[in-house]
Every structure is written in C-alpha cells, then in structure tokens.
Amino acid sequence: MTVQAQNQANYDESKVPALVLPDPFVSEKGMLINNLADWEKIRRPEIFHLFESVVYGILPKNFDAISFEKVNEKENPYPDLAELEEVNITVSRNGKSHTMRINLFLPKDKKGPFPVILLINYQPTYPDGSLVDEAFWPVSELLKRGYATASFHAETVAPDNNETYKNGIINTLYPEQIGMPNGMKAYGAWGWGSMRAMDYFEQHPQIDSKKSILVGHSRTGKAALWTSANDPRWAITYANESGCGGAALSRRKYGETVEAINNRFPYWFADNFKKYNGKEETLPIDQHMLPGLIAPRAIYYSSAKGDQWADPKGEFLGIKLGSRVYSEIYGKKIEFPSEFETLKSPIHQESVGYHIREGEHNLTWEDWSHFLEFVGKNLK
C-alpha cells in the first residue's frame, strides 16, 4: 500500500498547481494584521482554531492529578556519562488513570540545571521507550555537549495503529473526544504526552525547563509542531522531514497528499481533515501558517533530497513563508534565499532554521549536528 501510494504520487514540478495560499496577515473579517497586538489578540487565535478544528483536532489540557514515580528497571547504557531516570508519569481524570513512561538522561559530572532535548520516539523497537539507538537519538553526543535528553515512545500514550490507537489516553482519560469531527486522535495524544514530559521537567531541580527543546521525525515531527503550537513552554521545536500535514504545503499536492495520508493513517488527524481529500485548495489554512503559531519561539525544519514523498520544496516554502510572522510581527532578522533549487548550506537565521541534505528519509547525525549548531545560536 505504501509503495502503491508513493508510486502514484506526483513528483513532477511542472504539474504542481499554481499556489494561491490563504493570507496569514488578513483576519477573517478582512482586517490587515500588521502589529503584535492584533496578531496575538485576533489573528493567531483564528489560525490556531482553524488548525485545531480542520487539521489536528483538539489537544485537551485538563486533568485532575499528575504524579511521577522513578522506577529504574533497566541498566543504564551510559554509566560513565549519565544518570538515567526512568519515570512513570501517572495522570488521572474522572476517576480513571493512565501511566506513560519517559527515559531521561542527565549529564554526569557536570553542573546543572541543564537544557533538555525531548525526542518523541516511534521506532518499532522497545515500545516501552527504552530505545537507545545512537543513529537516531545520539544520546552520548548530547550528554557530552551538556544537554539532558529524554524520550518517550508514542505508543505509551496512543498506539500508532488504526485499530488500537484509542487504547491509550483516548479511551481512558478523554472518551468524550471519540466521534467528534474535531476530536483528538494520535497526534493530539502524542502532543499530550510531550506536555506531560514537560510537566516532569518543570519540577526537576536539575533541568532548566525554560530551555526545553522538542524534536520529532516524520510522523512525530508533525506531532511536535502541533504540540508546540499548543504549549508555549517549548523554547525550540525541530521537525525533521515532517512532510504532508507537517512542514510541507498541502496545496502543492507533491509527493504525499492529504488524501493519501488520511487513507493510510485515518487515526492521525481529526476526522474533519478528510473533507479536504483531493480538495486541498479549499482548506482555510495551509502549512505555512503553522510556524506563526509557534513564533516567536525558535523553529527548525529539515529535508532530505531522497525523501521526495515528504516534498522538500514544500517543506522549504512552509518555513520560508512561515517565517514572515517572525520577521514582520516579531521583528526577527530573517533572510531566506529565494531559490530552493540552488540552496547549498543550512539556513540559520534568528529563531528560524532549515537544512536539506543528501540521502534518504531518516533522522541522522548530519541532521542533529546542523540542528545543534542552530540550537547553540538560538538557545538564550
């Protein structure tokens, strides 16, 4: 099915429709938005509401109680570099509770509090979240550079599966969301899990939670963006190769389309998103309006040339056009090259960054190293 959808996709730039994009700077009542007060009071809430109702669904924020319990069941794979905390986070609501697991590594023999990098993991191995695969999550490099780093597995809050995705927090804590056209699905749940990890960071004496960084690749890159649009506690958000429904403009219909993603993954986005299958041009937003929901906090995208399914050019345009809120509303110094085709080196601007590399769809050390350079410049 994957191969079939990918083979049928359009990869011909000359067949990309002429882009007519919704304007982030004109309100629903037709008012021109050109200052911070109008942006924050009028336009940002309008755009947030549209993404919530037609794309991602609600990310509920209410619950009754949260508690943290260190369990420490596994052997620490980095005894020389880190302290490992394996933490069960239990959240209750309306008499029911759900427990998710995070793994946190804190640099050893260094002085905290530390900035922290959270990765939303979805790799099929170790669904309890204990994955330590240096190629994907370079824990030892991050520790050596003085970051604490944590991850949780997406499936510890919502299984990545159309039959079972509700068998996490949706059935247990938020059953009223089921069947709502704008109700939460897997992305809402994964975002919710990231927020609970943040709750843990906030009360941790060795973590500088004002310097929290959220990282996701591909499907969890899309979720990371929606998380950060909902939760202003993230200082930097990184979506690697997040493609359709993440970084890339839907109206380009290049590579993966709205219809293709909704057919294969009907449990990721709100049901309302399906109304736009094959009708991207009728969406009231497009993905270039997503970075503006995260502004002025820093945002980073990246693409791979061999990952045409995610539409690298659409991802580049998503961040380039999206960065206008950073420059025009928040006064950040940003200059994006106009040509995507001739891009050579990473674009690291004030609070906004992007790179494209050779190779296939994956989160690699090359991606991390460019990103960490951007973090160094932007983590104030």
Residues in 293-312 that interact with ligand GCU by CB under 6 A: 309
Write the CB contacts of 307 (distance below 8 Å, at least 6 apart in sequence): 241, 243, 360, 361
Closest CB to ligand GCU among residues 211, 219: 219
| 300 neighbors 322 (Cβ within 8 angstroms) | no
Binding of ligand GCU by 280 (CB under 6 A): no
My answer on whether omega of the bond before 284 falls inside 30° of 0, hence cis, is: no
Options 231, 256, 286, 315; binder of ligand GCU; rule CB under 6 A: 256
Cβ proximity to ligand GCU, 157 vs 244, nearer residue = 244
Least spacing, CB of residue 160 vs ligand GCU, in Å: 9
Smallest gap from Cβ 62 to ligand GCU, in A, equals 29
Q: Which of 248, 261, 321, 372 binds ligand GCU (CB under 6 A)?
A: 261
Q: Per the residue annotation, which of 194, 218, 302, 323 is the catalytic one? A: 218
Residues 170-229 that bind ligand GCU (CB under 6 A): 218-219
Backbone φ and ψ for 76, nearest 5 degrees, come out as: -70, 115
Cβ 79 to ligand GCU shortest distance, Å: 32
Reading the block at residue 247, the tokens are 């970084």
As a whole number of angstroms, the distance between CA 370 and CA 191 comes to: 25
Euclidean distance between CA atoms 106 and 113, whole angstroms? 9
Instruction: Give the torsion sign (CA, 261, 266, 271, 277).
Output: positive
Of the candidate residues 129, 138, 243, 318, the single one contacting ligand GCU (CB under 6 A) = 243
Can residue 249 be called a binding residue for ligand GCU (CB under 6 A)?
A: no
Tell me the C-alpha distance between 314 and 287, whole Å.
9
Q: Which is nearer to ligand GCU, 89 or 319 (CB)?
A: 319
Whether 218 is catalytic is yes
Residue 323 is among the residues annotated as catalytic for this protein:
no
Q: How many residues bind ligand GCU (CB under 6 A)?
A: 7
Q: Output 147 or 301, the one with its CB closest to ligand GCU.
A: 301
Contacts 24+ apart (CB under 8 A), 14-19: 16/252, 16/253, 16/254, 17/251, 17/252, 17/253, 17/281, 19/249, 19/251, 19/252
What is the closest distance, in whole angstroms, from the C-beta atom of residue 115 to ligand GCU in the complex? 26
Residues in a beta bridge with 86: 103
Rounded CA-CA distance 236/89 in Å is: 23
**244 touching ligand GCU, by CB under 6 A:** yes
Interface with ligand GCU by CB under 6 A: which residues?
A: 218-219, 243-244, 256, 261, 309
Catalytic residue IDs: 218, 361
